[in-house]
Amino acid sequence: MILATLLLALASGVNGAGPSAAPADAAAVIRASPDDDRRERSLARLNALRRAAGVAPVTRSDALTQSASRHAAYLSEHGFHSAPGFHAENPALSDFTGADPFARMRAAGYQMAYATEVIGDIGSASTDSDCVDGLMRTIYHAALLLGRVTEAGVGYGTGAAAGSCTIDLGTPLAASPARASQAGGLVRYPWPDMVISSGSFRPESENPRPMPEFLPDSPTGAPVMVGLRDAAMAGQDRPAAVRIQQFELRDMADTTVPSVVLADAAITGPGVVADAALRGLFVALVPRHPLAPGRYRVILRASLDSGQTLQPAPWLFSVAAP
């Protein structure tokens, strides 16, 4: 089972015009390690998913790779319960490099305008996992991986934690606003004509568990994620307010699939549930029951307080047969 966790918080860059590289000797050691090919595969997989979903790719940051690798080493040595939260570290223990992800990133030389961290495949010892696909079968983690970051670094555990990964993501302090935002238009996952391997999602596998008062049963259907940040920017300095007028999933008999719509608190609309853990102007449609194999159609219509209407053509995706 994939037990992923995340830290949903924004960080402001401090004391510097941009990111500093990780120390050359530390970066060289990381790049020479046996795990580095695995890191590259993970970043390549993440970028393939981002491009297909409509997001610009990230570039590798040696500083973020160092901070992620250090935390992965700490978790491998001390387990996932040595501090209050998977993203925290206990300063009394060996391998401590920072109380939280942002402290570890800064210690590695990274000055951020925005940053976040995700951890996945907890409890896995598999050295074959790239960890990314498991994290994408979530709500909050998927939003972070498809969000407004431009750089990333990956660290892997060892021993019994060899399958777990720590991914640090950020946008450097010196990045222009255009580069810090998504690559225009909507971000969609599943994207048009995508085939997903499973139509189910277990909310209890994600930490924090998504909205148990609205999603009490498990499994649910696979979430449909849409990122509206760039579409809501519309040439402005900050996103316009978004109101969802229609967000539906229909099967090939044109029957509406019963669902719950969770959204960033800046997104409103009839039936939309504000979710404080879902940020970056993402909205998630979560079917109440697993999706059977077959094709599904997504319909979205929204408006901005600027008067603009967002109404992309409906798109199809498929759930593969077992």
Average model confidence (pLDDT) across the chain: 86
Q: By percentage, how much of the chain surpasses pLDDT 90?
A: 69
Cα 52 from chain centre = 15
HSE-up of 116 (CA within 13 Å, CB side)? 22
Tokens standing for residue 307: 């008067």
Averaged pLDDT, 238-251: 93
* β-pair type (259-263, 272-274): parallel
CB-based contacts of 71, cutoff 8 Å, min separation 6: 87, 89, 97, 101, 104, 117, 155, 166, 168
The Cα 16–Cα 179 span in angstroms is: 18
Identify the residue with better confidence: 213 or 9: 213
Pick from 56, 85, 61, 50: nearest CA to 71: 85
Averaged pLDDT, 7-36: 47
CB-based contacts of 153, cutoff 8 Å, min separation 6: 39, 60, 61, 62, 63, 64, 65, 66, 67, 68, 69, 167, 168
Looking at 111-120, 175-184, 201-210, which range is the least confident one?
A: 175-184
Q: Give the 3-state secondary structure of residue 121.
A: strand
Q: Give the 3-state secondary structure of residue 296.
A: strand
H or E segment and range at residue 311: none
Looking at 6-10, 104-108, 160-164, which range is the least confident one?
A: 6-10
One-letter amino acid at 198 equals S
Identify the residue with better confidence: 9 or 41: 41
Q: What integer pLDDT is reported at residue 184 of this predicted model?
A: 55
Q: Does residue 6 register a pLDDT over 50?
A: no
- Give one word for 168, left, alpha or beta, with left for phi > 0 and alpha for psi -120 to 50: beta
Q: Does residue 63 register a pLDDT over 70?
A: yes
Q: What integer pLDDT is reported at residue 273 of this predicted model?
A: 98
The Cα 195–Cα 297 span in angstroms is: 13
Q: What integer pLDDT is reported at residue 21 of this predicted model?
A: 46
The Cα 71–Cα 164 span in angstroms is: 11
One-letter amino acid at 119 equals I
* Helix boundaries (H) for 130-217: 132-136, 140-145, 177-180
Q: What integer pLDDT is reported at residue 1 of this predicted model?
A: 34
The Cα 280–Cα 285 span in angstroms is: 15
* Contact present, 139 and 284 (Cβ < 8 Å): yes
pLDDT digits (tens, 9 = 90+) for 105-153: 999 999 999 999 999 877 676 777 668 998 999 999 999 999 989 999 9
pLDDT digits (tens, 9 = 90+) for 79-111: 888 988 889 999 999 999 999 999 999 999 999
The Cα 45–Cα 154 span in angstroms is: 12
Tokens standing for residue 314: 């409906």
Exposure class string for 246-263: b at 16+ Cβ within 10 A, else e: ebbbbeeeeeebebbbbb
What are φ and ψ of residue 285, in 5° steps?
-95, 120
